[in-house]
Amino acid sequence: MELYYDKNKLIRGDWIKRAVLRSDLVPVPLTLEADIRVDADSRRHFETGRSLVTYTGDELEIIRSELSMSGAVQGGDQAAFVRLIAILKCVKAVAFIKPTAIIKANATLAEVYRSAGATLRSIEGDFAVPRFVCMAGEVPTYHISRALQEGGGVVRWRNGRLSFIPLRGLFQQKTVTAVTNSASDNVESGFLERHDIPWFYSVDADGAFVYGNRVKARAARWQPGMSEIALRNMTACLVHTKTTIVKYNERLAAGDLVEVQGADPLVIMTSATLFAAGTDGDAPQQYTRLWLGRLEA
Protein backbone atom coordinates (compact mmCIF):
# COMPACT_ATOMS: atom_id res chain seq x y z
CA MET A 1 0.00 0.00 0.00
CA GLU A 2 1.40 3.37 -1.02
CA LEU A 3 0.83 6.11 1.54
CA TYR A 4 2.50 9.51 1.58
CA TYR A 5 3.04 11.93 4.45
CA ASP A 6 4.37 15.48 4.61
CA LYS A 7 3.06 16.11 1.06
CA ASN A 8 5.22 13.71 -0.95
CA LYS A 9 7.24 11.47 1.36
CA LEU A 10 6.50 7.77 0.86
CA ILE A 11 5.96 5.68 3.97
CA ARG A 12 8.21 2.65 3.67
CA GLY A 13 6.23 -0.56 3.26
CA ASP A 14 8.04 -2.29 6.11
CA TRP A 15 7.05 0.60 8.42
CA ILE A 16 3.35 -0.05 7.84
CA LYS A 17 2.53 -2.63 10.48
CA ARG A 18 -1.11 -2.78 9.41
CA ALA A 19 -3.33 -0.54 7.28
CA VAL A 20 -6.94 -0.86 6.17
CA LEU A 21 -8.27 1.50 3.49
CA ARG A 22 -12.05 1.39 3.55
CA SER A 23 -14.50 2.61 0.91
CA ASP A 24 -18.21 2.94 1.82
CA LEU A 25 -21.47 4.28 0.38
CA VAL A 26 -21.85 6.79 3.21
CA PRO A 27 -21.52 10.59 3.61
CA VAL A 28 -17.82 10.20 4.55
CA PRO A 29 -16.93 7.58 1.93
CA LEU A 30 -13.21 6.94 2.52
CA THR A 31 -11.40 6.08 5.76
CA LEU A 32 -8.01 4.71 6.77
CA GLU A 33 -7.03 2.82 9.90
CA ALA A 34 -3.32 2.18 10.28
CA ASP A 35 -0.51 1.24 12.63
CA ILE A 36 2.67 2.92 11.39
CA ARG A 37 6.17 2.68 12.81
CA VAL A 38 7.70 6.07 13.61
CA ASP A 39 10.92 7.49 14.98
CA ALA A 40 11.66 10.69 16.88
CA ASP A 41 11.78 12.74 13.67
CA SER A 42 8.74 11.36 11.85
CA ARG A 43 6.18 10.97 14.64
CA ARG A 44 5.14 14.64 14.44
CA HIS A 45 3.89 14.02 10.90
CA PHE A 46 1.28 11.57 12.19
CA GLU A 47 -0.37 13.77 14.79
CA THR A 48 -4.05 14.71 14.74
CA GLY A 49 -4.75 17.24 12.00
CA ARG A 50 -1.94 16.06 9.72
CA SER A 51 -2.66 14.65 6.25
CA LEU A 52 -1.90 11.38 4.48
CA VAL A 53 -2.26 10.85 0.74
CA THR A 54 -3.08 7.58 -1.03
CA TYR A 55 -1.45 6.46 -4.26
CA THR A 56 -4.49 7.75 -6.18
CA GLY A 57 -4.06 11.23 -4.70
CA ASP A 58 -6.90 11.10 -2.17
CA GLU A 59 -6.04 13.25 0.86
CA LEU A 60 -7.11 12.04 4.28
CA GLU A 61 -6.84 13.95 7.54
CA ILE A 62 -5.88 12.22 10.77
CA ILE A 63 -8.65 12.59 13.36
CA ARG A 64 -7.23 10.22 15.97
CA SER A 65 -3.60 9.42 16.74
CA GLU A 66 -2.24 7.26 19.55
CA LEU A 67 1.45 6.60 20.17
CA SER A 68 2.35 3.15 21.49
CA MET A 69 5.67 1.52 22.26
CA SER A 70 6.46 -1.96 20.97
CA GLY A 71 8.37 -4.53 22.97
CA ALA A 72 10.81 -4.94 20.09
CA VAL A 73 14.16 -3.16 20.16
CA GLN A 74 16.15 -2.27 17.04
CA GLY A 75 19.49 -0.48 17.07
CA GLY A 76 19.22 0.08 20.80
CA ASP A 77 15.93 2.00 20.47
CA GLN A 78 12.51 0.72 21.42
CA ALA A 79 10.25 0.63 18.36
CA ALA A 80 7.34 3.10 18.44
CA PHE A 81 4.09 2.92 16.48
CA VAL A 82 1.32 5.40 15.83
CA ARG A 83 -2.18 3.97 15.66
CA LEU A 84 -4.30 6.37 13.65
CA ILE A 85 -7.66 6.92 12.02
CA ALA A 86 -7.94 9.26 9.02
CA ILE A 87 -10.94 10.30 6.93
CA LEU A 88 -11.40 11.99 3.57
CA LYS A 89 -10.29 15.57 4.15
CA CYS A 90 -12.67 17.40 1.82
CA VAL A 91 -15.73 16.07 3.71
CA LYS A 92 -14.15 15.76 7.16
CA ALA A 93 -16.19 18.61 8.63
CA VAL A 94 -19.54 16.84 8.15
CA ALA A 95 -18.48 14.17 10.67
CA PHE A 96 -18.18 16.67 13.52
CA ILE A 97 -20.93 17.94 15.83
CA LYS A 98 -22.12 21.41 14.84
CA PRO A 99 -22.49 24.25 17.38
CA THR A 100 -25.25 25.93 15.34
CA ALA A 101 -28.22 24.62 13.40
CA ILE A 102 -28.10 24.05 9.63
CA ILE A 103 -31.46 24.54 7.91
CA LYS A 104 -31.83 24.40 4.13
CA ALA A 105 -34.77 24.28 1.74
CA ASN A 106 -34.50 23.12 -1.89
CA ALA A 107 -30.70 23.23 -1.70
CA THR A 108 -28.48 20.95 -3.75
CA LEU A 109 -26.65 18.14 -2.00
CA ALA A 110 -23.36 19.96 -2.64
CA GLU A 111 -24.75 23.06 -0.90
CA VAL A 112 -25.77 20.90 2.06
CA TYR A 113 -22.26 19.47 2.29
CA ARG A 114 -20.68 22.93 2.06
CA SER A 115 -23.03 24.36 4.68
CA ALA A 116 -21.72 21.65 7.03
CA GLY A 117 -18.12 22.70 6.36
CA ALA A 118 -17.10 20.43 3.48
CA THR A 119 -14.83 21.88 0.80
CA LEU A 120 -16.40 20.10 -2.18
CA ARG A 121 -16.79 22.24 -5.27
CA SER A 122 -19.50 20.05 -6.80
CA ILE A 123 -21.12 16.62 -6.68
CA GLU A 124 -21.58 14.62 -9.85
CA GLY A 125 -25.26 13.76 -10.38
CA ASP A 126 -26.30 16.37 -7.79
CA PHE A 127 -29.97 16.70 -6.82
CA ALA A 128 -32.15 19.10 -4.84
CA VAL A 129 -32.84 18.27 -1.19
CA PRO A 130 -36.37 19.55 -0.40
CA ARG A 131 -35.68 20.02 3.30
CA PHE A 132 -32.52 19.63 5.38
CA VAL A 133 -32.41 20.23 9.12
CA CYS A 134 -29.46 19.54 11.40
CA MET A 135 -30.01 21.02 14.84
CA ALA A 136 -27.26 22.46 17.02
CA GLY A 137 -25.36 19.70 18.81
CA GLU A 138 -26.03 17.13 16.08
CA VAL A 139 -23.80 15.49 13.48
CA PRO A 140 -24.66 16.32 9.83
CA THR A 141 -23.78 12.84 8.52
CA TYR A 142 -26.97 11.33 9.95
CA HIS A 143 -29.17 13.94 8.30
CA ILE A 144 -27.26 13.68 5.01
CA SER A 145 -27.92 9.93 5.09
CA ARG A 146 -31.63 10.65 5.53
CA ALA A 147 -31.61 13.03 2.57
CA LEU A 148 -29.90 10.37 0.44
CA GLN A 149 -32.46 7.76 1.48
CA GLU A 150 -35.33 10.09 0.59
CA GLY A 151 -33.60 10.80 -2.73
CA GLY A 152 -33.37 7.10 -3.50
CA GLY A 153 -29.61 6.90 -3.89
CA VAL A 154 -26.15 6.88 -2.35
CA VAL A 155 -22.90 8.82 -2.60
CA ARG A 156 -19.66 7.21 -3.69
CA TRP A 157 -16.05 8.39 -4.01
CA ARG A 158 -14.15 7.52 -7.18
CA ASN A 159 -11.43 9.22 -9.22
CA GLY A 160 -11.21 12.11 -6.78
CA ARG A 161 -14.89 13.04 -7.02
CA LEU A 162 -18.01 12.55 -4.95
CA SER A 163 -21.01 11.32 -6.95
CA PHE A 164 -24.68 10.76 -6.22
CA ILE A 165 -26.04 7.63 -7.90
CA PRO A 166 -29.64 6.32 -7.72
CA LEU A 167 -29.79 2.82 -6.28
CA ARG A 168 -31.11 1.36 -9.53
CA GLY A 169 -28.32 3.12 -11.43
CA LEU A 170 -25.74 1.12 -9.49
CA PHE A 171 -26.94 -2.04 -11.23
CA GLN A 172 -26.82 -0.49 -14.71
CA GLN A 173 -23.02 -0.16 -14.71
CA LYS A 174 -20.49 -2.50 -16.24
CA THR A 175 -19.03 -5.04 -13.84
CA VAL A 176 -15.45 -4.40 -12.70
CA THR A 177 -14.55 -7.89 -11.47
CA ALA A 178 -16.01 -11.35 -10.95
CA VAL A 179 -16.31 -13.64 -7.94
CA THR A 180 -17.41 -17.25 -7.57
CA ASN A 181 -20.24 -18.37 -5.34
CA SER A 182 -18.07 -21.07 -3.80
CA ALA A 183 -15.46 -18.54 -2.63
CA SER A 184 -17.82 -16.34 -0.64
CA ASP A 185 -20.19 -16.35 2.32
CA ASN A 186 -23.89 -15.95 1.57
CA VAL A 187 -26.24 -14.00 3.82
CA GLU A 188 -29.98 -14.69 3.72
CA SER A 189 -32.20 -12.63 5.98
CA GLY A 190 -35.70 -12.43 4.49
CA PHE A 191 -37.36 -12.61 7.90
CA LEU A 192 -35.28 -9.76 9.32
CA GLU A 193 -35.69 -7.66 6.18
CA ARG A 194 -39.47 -7.64 6.57
CA HIS A 195 -39.05 -6.30 10.10
CA ASP A 196 -36.12 -3.95 9.58
CA ILE A 197 -37.09 -2.43 6.19
CA PRO A 198 -40.51 -0.80 6.67
CA TRP A 199 -42.87 0.85 4.25
CA PHE A 200 -43.83 4.46 4.97
CA TYR A 201 -46.99 6.54 4.86
CA SER A 202 -47.85 10.21 5.31
CA VAL A 203 -50.66 12.76 4.88
CA ASP A 204 -50.85 15.35 2.11
CA ALA A 205 -52.03 18.97 2.33
CA ASP A 206 -55.68 17.88 1.89
CA GLY A 207 -55.51 15.40 4.75
CA ALA A 208 -55.50 12.33 2.51
CA PHE A 209 -53.17 9.44 3.23
CA VAL A 210 -50.13 9.04 0.98
CA TYR A 211 -48.57 5.59 0.83
CA GLY A 212 -45.15 4.32 -0.13
CA ASN A 213 -44.28 0.82 -1.31
CA ARG A 214 -46.80 -1.64 0.19
CA VAL A 215 -46.14 -4.56 -2.16
CA LYS A 216 -44.69 -6.74 0.61
CA ALA A 217 -45.94 -7.26 4.14
CA ARG A 218 -43.61 -5.12 6.23
CA ALA A 219 -43.52 -3.04 9.36
CA ALA A 220 -45.17 0.36 8.77
CA ARG A 221 -43.77 3.75 9.78
CA TRP A 222 -45.31 7.23 9.78
CA GLN A 223 -43.24 9.99 8.18
CA PRO A 224 -44.76 13.49 8.08
CA GLY A 225 -44.52 15.86 5.12
CA MET A 226 -43.29 13.37 2.52
CA SER A 227 -44.28 12.93 -1.11
CA GLU A 228 -45.20 9.53 -2.54
CA ILE A 229 -41.89 9.37 -4.44
CA ALA A 230 -39.88 10.04 -1.28
CA LEU A 231 -41.92 7.47 0.67
CA ARG A 232 -41.18 4.83 -1.98
CA ASN A 233 -37.51 5.76 -2.05
CA MET A 234 -37.25 5.33 1.70
CA THR A 235 -38.14 1.64 1.45
CA ALA A 236 -35.54 0.95 -1.26
CA CYS A 237 -32.11 -0.02 0.06
CA LEU A 238 -29.12 -2.28 -0.46
CA VAL A 239 -29.24 -5.52 1.52
CA HIS A 240 -26.02 -7.30 2.47
CA THR A 241 -26.05 -10.58 0.57
CA LYS A 242 -22.51 -11.86 0.26
CA THR A 243 -19.03 -11.38 1.74
CA THR A 244 -15.93 -12.40 -0.17
CA ILE A 245 -12.16 -11.96 -0.18
CA VAL A 246 -10.38 -11.19 -3.45
CA LYS A 247 -6.83 -10.44 -4.51
CA TYR A 248 -5.40 -7.19 -3.14
CA ASN A 249 -6.89 -4.37 -5.22
CA GLU A 250 -7.07 -0.78 -3.98
CA ARG A 251 -8.98 0.24 -7.10
CA LEU A 252 -12.12 -1.63 -6.08
CA ALA A 253 -14.46 0.87 -4.46
CA ALA A 254 -17.91 0.97 -2.92
CA GLY A 255 -20.50 1.40 -5.65
CA ASP A 256 -18.73 -0.83 -8.17
CA LEU A 257 -20.75 -3.67 -9.71
CA VAL A 258 -19.41 -7.21 -9.32
CA GLU A 259 -20.27 -10.21 -11.46
CA VAL A 260 -21.23 -13.28 -9.44
CA GLN A 261 -20.84 -16.47 -11.42
CA GLY A 262 -24.17 -18.23 -11.72
CA ALA A 263 -26.11 -15.41 -10.05
CA ASP A 264 -27.19 -11.80 -10.50
CA PRO A 265 -24.54 -9.05 -10.20
CA LEU A 266 -24.10 -7.44 -6.79
CA VAL A 267 -22.92 -3.99 -5.73
CA ILE A 268 -19.95 -3.41 -3.44
CA MET A 269 -21.40 -1.85 -0.28
CA THR A 270 -18.03 -1.76 1.48
CA SER A 271 -14.54 -2.47 0.21
CA ALA A 272 -11.75 -2.90 2.78
CA THR A 273 -8.18 -3.36 1.53
CA LEU A 274 -5.74 -4.76 4.09
CA PHE A 275 -1.96 -4.40 3.96
CA ALA A 276 0.18 -5.88 6.73
CA ALA A 277 3.94 -5.92 6.21
CA GLY A 278 4.70 -8.65 8.73
CA THR A 279 6.45 -6.34 11.19
CA ASP A 280 7.50 -7.75 14.59
CA GLY A 281 7.23 -11.31 13.35
CA ASP A 282 3.56 -11.12 12.32
CA ALA A 283 2.53 -12.90 9.14
CA PRO A 284 2.34 -10.56 6.10
CA GLN A 285 -1.14 -10.16 4.63
CA GLN A 286 -2.52 -8.44 1.54
CA TYR A 287 -6.10 -8.83 0.39
CA THR A 288 -9.36 -6.97 -0.26
CA ARG A 289 -12.59 -7.94 1.48
CA LEU A 290 -15.88 -7.03 -0.22
CA TRP A 291 -19.33 -6.74 1.30
CA LEU A 292 -21.79 -7.17 -1.57
CA GLY A 293 -25.45 -6.25 -1.67
CA ARG A 294 -28.59 -6.54 -3.77
CA LEU A 295 -31.38 -4.02 -4.23
CA GLU A 296 -34.46 -4.40 -2.08
CA ALA A 297 -37.24 -2.12 -3.31
Whole-number average pLDDT of the chain: 89
In the predicted model, is pLDDT for residue 91 greater than 90?
yes
Instruction: Name the residue among 169, 140, 156, 122 with its Cα closest to residue 295.
Output: 169
Any residues with CB less than 8 A from the CB of 282 and at least 6 apart, and which? 17, 276
SS3 category, 1: coil
For 266-279, how does the pLDDT look when each residue is reduced to its tens digit (9 = 90+)?
999 999 999 988 77
Which of 15-19, 116-120, 137-141, 282-286 shows the lowest mean pLDDT across its residues? 282-286
Q: What is the pLDDT of residue 279?
A: 73
Q: Phi, psi at residue 142, to the nearest 5°? A: -60, -45
Q: How far apart are CA 28 and CA 270, in angstroms?
A: 12
pLDDT (average), residues 210-229: 85
Instruction: Name the residue among 83, 92, 81 with its Cα closest to residue 64.
Output: 83
Say if pTM beats, i.e. exceeds, 0.85. Answer: yes
In the predicted model, is pLDDT for residue 221 greater than 80?
yes
What percent of the chain is helix, strand and coil (3-state, nearest 5)? 20, 45, 35
User: Between vectors from CA 118 to CA 116 and to CA 123, what angle results, nearest 5°?
Assistant: 110
For 55-72, how does the pLDDT look when each residue is reduced to its tens digit (9 = 90+)?
889 999 999 999 887 655
Ramachandran region of residue 281, left (φ > 0), alpha (ψ -120 to 50) or beta? left
What percentage of the chain has pLDDT greater than the value 70? 92
Pairing of strands 77-88, 59-74: antiparallel
Q: What is the pLDDT of residue 73?
A: 53
Residues 76, 33: contact at Cβ < 8 Å? no
Confidence class for position 181, pLDDT limits 50, 70, 90: confident
